[in-house]
Amino acid sequence: MNMHATILRTPAEAALIEAFAERCSDLPGNESVVIRRDEAMEVLKQGLPTRRVESWHYTDMRRLLSSVPTYDAHGHAEVLAPVLDGSVVLPMLVGAASGAAPALEGVTFRPVRDKLADGSLAQALVPQGDDDAIGALNAAFVRDGWFVDIADGVMVERPIELQNVQGGGQAHVRLPVRVGNGVKATIVERQTGAGAGFVTSVANLVVGDDSDVLYVIVQEQPETATHLGQFNAWIGKNAKLTLFVMNAGGKLVRQEVRVVAKGEGSDFQLRGVNLLAGDTHTDLTMVLDHTVPHTGSRELVRNVVTGKARGVFQGRINVHQIAQKTDAKMACNTLLLSDDAEFSTKPELEIFADDVACGHGATVTEIDRNHLFYLMARGIDEKTARGLLVEAFVASVIEELEDETIVEALEARLHQWFAEHG
């Protein structure tokens, strides 16, 4: 991760190494898992990534991660009402899967600690490349999570909510989700809690052929927590994956999205909303690989930045040499609402196939004065007019999701955020 192995360790790095020495014997896993954990720790001992590592250019972990809380086994967390009414909730409290596996037709649930104990998850613990700090951190410390397996041809009636509630200490979870062929499902990954927690969460989603999956990440950590999330997905033939990411909290947040379109005719849609306030740092980084011909993708990310918040969006679309007829479009729009707000964006294209249509657009701006004037000319005061415009700017991303109940539920959260920070 860092080429200079001789540099002095930051307090956070030292705390991580110490935590591992203390904890490793208690963490679940057979021999092969232990080997993976040790390997991941060796990577971490090289130091956390700095701005010299290209994929971490705007999120210098050595500088930003000032401290890591000790592991607190007695932290307290409770199961919350789900984001979407009628969801099947799979709680993870202070990093451990809680309660018995619920019953849902065609779907199997298992706590991840079982899959660590029998070693079936060992292979998935190998970090992806030498800049995969989140993968390495999670591999070293992962304790639990939920494994979800949806059988072929199942139309999952109820949304599934993977609810990760931290209680101030460390929480490291993994969410392996296997979706069979011809499945339709909605999955919500919820990241929340209370206190200055240190959370890592890695979701690995395999979408089978002809399936249609909506995956929603709602990250609402308190403004004292560090949240490092990673979402990996592999999309099969003629399958569709819509990923919705909402970041509305956290002190230091990095959410990585790594998607591989590996089946012909697959479609990936990313809709992202970053609501940033306070003295916080939030990074949404996406890497999308089009590896076969005839695949499509659309990414739309909208950011509202206020207070002293700093936001980052990095998006890279790789079009492999054989991936002809790729149709990929990416857009990132940002509204800066205060003088101290900052936003950095790096939308990259890497293209090796010649018969493609790829594009990206990025804008950073303040509220359009003409729009403001239009509303104020109609007797709406400035504060309200601004609020309306900003909310509409973000809501248009949410409205692109087809399901009305989901749109309403997310808009309610959006509204709440604006009520608190607007």
> Binding another protein by CB under 8 A: which of 104, 117, 344, 395?
344
- 146 binds another protein per the rule CB under 8 A: no
Stretch near another protein under the rule CB under 8 A, chosen from 60-68, 96-104, 135-143, 355-363: 355-363
Q: Where are the beta strands (DSSP E) in 126-239?
A: 144-150, 160-166, 170-179, 184-193, 198-207, 212-219, 226-235
Which residue in 167, 314, 137 sits closest to 228, CA to CA? 137
Under the binding rule (CB under 8 A), the answer on residue 338 touching another protein is yes
Determine, following the binding rule CB under 8 A, whether residue 72 of this chain makes contact with another protein.
no
Tokens 């052929």 belong to 209
Contact yes or no for 121/33 (Cβ under 8 A)? yes
Give the shortest CB-164-to-another protein separation in angstroms: 32
- Start-end of H helices in 348-381: 369-376
Q: For residues 61 and 50, is the Cβ–Cβ distance under 8 A?
A: yes
The CB-of-299 to another protein minimum distance in angstroms stands at 14
Stretch near another protein under the rule CB under 8 A, chosen from 83-91, 120-128, 144-152, 336-344: 336-344
CB neighbour list of residue 136: distance below 8 Å, 6 or more residues apart: 1, 40, 41, 43, 44, 127
State which of positions 47-66 bind another protein (CB under 8 A).
54, 57
Q: Single out the residue of 66, 67, 123, 321 in contact with another protein (rule: CB under 8 A).
A: 321
Among 346, 371, 413, 421, binds another protein (CB under 8 A): 346
- The DSSP string of 88-157 is EEEEEETTEE-SPPPPBTTEEEEEHHHHHHTTTTGGGGS-SSTT-HHHHHHHHH--EEEEEEE-TT-B--
If one asks whether residue 405 binds another protein (CB under 8 A), the answer comes out as no
C-beta of residue 257 within 8 angstroms of C-beta of residue 229: no
Neighbour count for residue 402 (Cβ, 10 Å): 9
246 vs 319, which CB is nearer to another protein?
Answer: 319
Task: Please choose, out of 171-179, 205-213, 256-264, 359-367, the segment that lies near another protein by the rule CB under 8 A.
Answer: 359-367
Q: 3-state DSSP call for residue 218?
A: strand
69 C-beta neighbours (distance < 10 Å), count: 19
Residue 361 near another protein by CB under 8 A: yes
Smallest distance, another protein to C-beta of residue 317, A: 9
| Pairing mode, strands 107-111 and 144-150 | antiparallel
341 binds another protein (CB under 8 A): yes
Does 353 engage in binding with another protein (CB under 8 A)?
yes
Judged by CB under 8 A, the residue of 6, 25, 86, 355 near another protein is 355
206 binds another protein (CB under 8 A): no
Q: Of the candidates 5, 26, 103, 365, which one interacts with another protein according to CB under 8 A?
A: 365
Distance from C-alpha of 412 to C-alpha of 417, rounded to nearest angstrom: 9
Q: Does 360 bind another protein (CB under 8 A)?
A: yes
User: Contact between 372 and another protein (CB under 8 A)?
Assistant: no
Q: Measured from the CB atom, is 102 or 361 closer to another protein? A: 361
Footprint of another protein on this chain (CB under 8 A)? 54, 57, 321, 324, 334, 336-339, 341-366
